Chains A and B, each alone.
Chain A
């Protein structure tokens, strides 16, 4: 069986699994929207759109939308399902089948990409009442969805790596906590040049910053160069994580 067919079959199974566990999907949507509402409620008046240059004429919610999307894309539920498969023995059942090892990890990541894109579209739709507009138009909206999906795969692949190496639900769950420092050591409240010097250095070293700025550039129409850098950083991290997943499952004992 080809890697592509195997990935498709296992991806469909992972999507069914996600659809049948709405309790796992709910926080993915609810928590990021909660942060959007709270952050805009707390800081919206500090940054009025008519006198805040970096908002490019939009409200503060538009500036916050990338952080919301990144948070929504960083729950990595697939890794917890993978640990369940490992602990319950189904993972061995899959490994005992003549299906490419790569398909076993890519199937779940394919499902994460679909889920990530769906959730991103929903988050953007739900943010419309906050006067958010994707200034780069329909094309920009689609690129925003794709960039969110790539990040979703990258972070899920990182958590899958933790799951494959530790085979432990607790360790995998702890791995997901890594995103919080990564998300908050970014220019998520103000642009990088308005951060204090130590925070600016931390944000500059943090790759999530570039993904966030790329998303923000799409929402605020803040330059295609930033969009390109955002895609490049997300793609490199995604490729590295997928490669490590493939290597780990090939050597899995």
Chain B
């Protein structure tokens, strides 16, 4: 795959926002038959421009709900969120132009070909027909899907679908890329390919907001991370700082792993976590 994959920001287009992602007091409540459910209970986040930011948490902690609020897919009960300096609730369309979104399950229309999907995505972001076709061809080359470009997506492997999903999130050269569990379900080789792509995307100036179930992935890719549990941020910092803090606090001889930081932050033990947290069950 080419080294050029991704969003090359045009001169003068870089964001002037001090933070690529900024959330204050973010709350999401759902009404259910049994009452009100607090999915997110007041999240404060600041992601600097150019960072790869990891967002971790056990299942049901509020990760995806937070990402869906930040990406305009879910209404915000209380608090504010800005992406690339744009308030996502007040001006969602402008915010959407600044962000690329690749959600948990590669959101693809399997009856289309890879080329058709990218052309449509470009058209939805305002490209004229010819420009959309050119951008689709460029991205297909960049993600190494030239040969499969005119085949229906239904026949793609999991790794190919994930690369196409990534390409579709980059079609408009976003300032911030949200990746929700981008490697879940992929084989190890495909996972490494996606990691390489994330690094390349970030090198070209795109801020990456990554949620993941895999702590190794967070350790490898993220400049900084936050751990959410029960709808609240319970740890935030660089992976090394979080490990150092745990080592100092518990007086450990050896440096802890990110797994141990995660377990400590979420109040879980390995035995308890084995049942409900996939990433620490090995």
Task: Indicate whether A and B interact.
Answer: yes
Residues on A facing B (Cβ under 8 Å): 1, 5-6, 9-10, 13, 16-17, 20-21, 85, 88-99, 253
Q: In the complex, how many residue pairs between chain A and chain B have their CB atoms under 8 Å apart?
A: 74
Most chain A beta-carbon contacts within 10 A, residue among B94, B99, B103, B104: B103
Give Cα A95–Cα B71 distance, bound, in whole angstroms.
Answer: 9
Q: A1-B126, A96-B71, A253-B74 are in contact. Are A13 and B96 (CB under 8 A)?
A: no
Report whether B101 and A96 are in contact in the complex, using a CB–CB cutoff of 8 Å: yes
Report whether A21 and B111 are in contact in the complex, using a CB–CB cutoff of 8 Å: yes
Give Cα A90–Cα B126 distance, bound, in whole angstroms.
Answer: 18
**Which of A89, A90, A91, A96 lies in contact with B72, CB distance below 8 A?**
A96
Report whether B111 and A88 are in contact in the complex, using a CB–CB cutoff of 8 Å: no
**Which of A16, A21, A92, A98 lies in contact with B124, CB distance below 8 A?**
A98
Give Cα A92–Cα B178 distance, bound, in whole angstroms.
Answer: 13
Report whether B73 and A95 are in contact in the complex, using a CB–CB cutoff of 8 Å: yes
Q: Is B258 an interface residue (CB 8 A)?
A: no
Q: Would you give 26 A-B contacts (Cβ < 8 Å), ordered by A?
A: A1-B124, A5-B123, A6-B124, A9-B123, A9-B124, A13-B112, A13-B120, A17-B112, A20-B111, A88-B105, A89-B104, A89-B107, A89-B108, A92-B103, A93-B103, A93-B108, A95-B72, A96-B72, A96-B96, A96-B103, A97-B124, A97-B125, A98-B93, A98-B96, A98-B124, A98-B126
Q: What class of interface size applies to chain B in its complex with A?
A: 20 to 34
Chain B residues contacting A85 (CB-CB under 8 Å) are 109
Residues on B facing A (Cβ under 8 Å): 71-75, 93-94, 96-97, 99, 101, 103-112, 116, 120-121, 123-126, 152, 168
**Which of A5, A9, A13, A88 lies in contact with B107, CB distance below 8 A?**
A88
Report whether B125 and A98 are in contact in the complex, using a CB–CB cutoff of 8 Å: yes
Report whether B121 and A97 are in contact in the complex, using a CB–CB cutoff of 8 Å: yes
Give Cα A17–Cα B153 distance, bound, in whole angstroms.
Answer: 12
Chain B residues contacting A17 (CB-CB under 8 Å) are 109, 111-112
Report whether A90 and B124 are in contact in the complex, using a CB–CB cutoff of 8 Å: no
Q: A97-B121, A98-B97, A98-B126 are in contact. Are A90 and B109 (CB under 8 A)?
A: yes
Give Cα A93–Cα B105 distance, bound, in whole angstroms.
Answer: 11
